[in-house]
Amino acid sequence: MEPVYKFKIKKVKNGKKFDFEDTLIREIRTDIHINGQKTVSMMATPVDLEALAVGYLISEGIISSFNDIEKIELKNDGLIIDVTAKADTKKIEKLNEEAIIVSGCGKSVTSNIDIDPSKIEAEKIDSDITIKISDISKQMGEFYKSCPLYEKTGCVHTARLYFDEHTYFDAEDIAQHSTVDKAVGKAIIAGYSPKNGIMMVSGRLSSEMVVKAVMHKIPILISRTATTCLGAKIADTFGLTLVGFARGERMNIYTHDWRIEEG
C-alpha cells in the first residue's frame, strides 16, 4: 500500500480558485498480532510497519530484544502486522487491562505510563554520551530534508535516531509516538543499539514520547517544541537529557544538561 495518494482539490491564489492535484498522506488502522492473537491496534502511515512493531513491542516490554522475534509478516496489505515471538504474556495482559490512550497524534495505547514516575517499570539511564550545541543545530536543521513524506504532504511527524554524521535512522508517521518506534525499530533491525544514539523528533515531548526513550535507554531526546510537566519529571527521574525548542542555536535543556556541551 502506497503511503500517499493523489486528491483533486481547489487551490486558491491571488483570490482565484483553480484545479490542483494534491498529495495526501494515507492513514490506516493496523493491528499487531502476536503468536496469532491480536494485541493492539493503532492508526499509522503504511511505511516501515515492521520497524514500527519492533520498536513498539520493545518499548512496552512485551519482547526484550529483536532476538525474541522469530518472524514478522505483513498481511492484508499492511492492515495486520503478524509477529511470531517469545513474548511476555504478563505484559500483554497488562496492556489489555491497563491500556491508556496516549496524548500523541494517532490512536495508540500503552500500559507503561503513570502519574508517579517512580512506578514506571524502567531502569535509570547510565550513559556518558554527549553532543555539542552546534551539532544539535545542524542535525535538527537537516533531518527534515531527508523525510520525503513530509516534503510531499507536510502532514507527518518525523524522527531521527542519530549515531554519527553518517549513521542515522529516519522515520515518518501521522503519529509522533510511532515515529520513535519506527526509527528505533529500523536501528535495531540494522544491528544498532538505541542506547548509543540520540533521538530527535518534530513533535512535543509528552509523557509517552519520553517513556519510549527511557525504555530504550536513549540518553538524549531533542525536539523542536516543548515538553509537558510529566515528561520532564519522567526524564529527570530516569537520567534522560531532555531538550526542547531546539531551533537554530536556541534551545531549552530541561533535565541533565551536562550531556549538552557548549560549542
Question: Would residue 147 show up in a list of annotated catalytic residues for this protein?
Answer: no
| One domain for residues 145 and 233 | yes
How many angstroms separate the CA atoms of 26 and 28, rounded?
Answer: 7
Q: Which pLDDT score is estimated for 53? A: 95
Tally of structural domains, the chain? 2
Q: Which structural domain range is residue 223 located in? A: 131-261
Is residue 32 predicted with pLDDT exceeding 50?
A: yes
Is residue 260 predicted with pLDDT exceeding 50?
A: yes
What tens digit of pLDDT does each residue of 69-113 get?
A: 999 999 999 999 999 999 999 888 887 765 544 434 444 554 444
Q: Which pLDDT score is estimated for 97? A: 65
| One domain for residues 139 and 86 | no
219 touches 259 (CB < 8 A): yes
| One domain for residues 151 and 106 | no
What tens digit of pLDDT does each residue of 49-74 get?
A: 999 999 999 988 999 999 999 999 99
6 assigned to some structural domain: no
Residue 216, classed as helix, strand or coil, is coil
End-to-end CA separation in angstroms for the chain: 45
Q: Which pLDDT score is estimated for 116? A: 63
* Beta-strand relationship, 260-261 and 131-132: parallel
Question: Which one of 105, 147, 155, 229 is the catalytic residue?
Answer: 105
Of 69, 85, 113, which residue sits at a domain end?
113
What tens digit of pLDDT does each residue of 129-181 get?
A: 999 999 999 999 887 777 788 888 888 889 999 999 999 999 999 888 899 99
Q: Which pLDDT score is estimated for 250? A: 86
How many angstroms separate the CA atoms of 131 and 133, rounded?
Answer: 7
pLDDT more than 90, % of the chain? 50
Mean pLDDT of 242-262: 90
- Per the prediction, the chain carries an average pLDDT of 87
| One domain for residues 97 and 138 | no
Q: Which pLDDT score is estimated for 69? A: 97
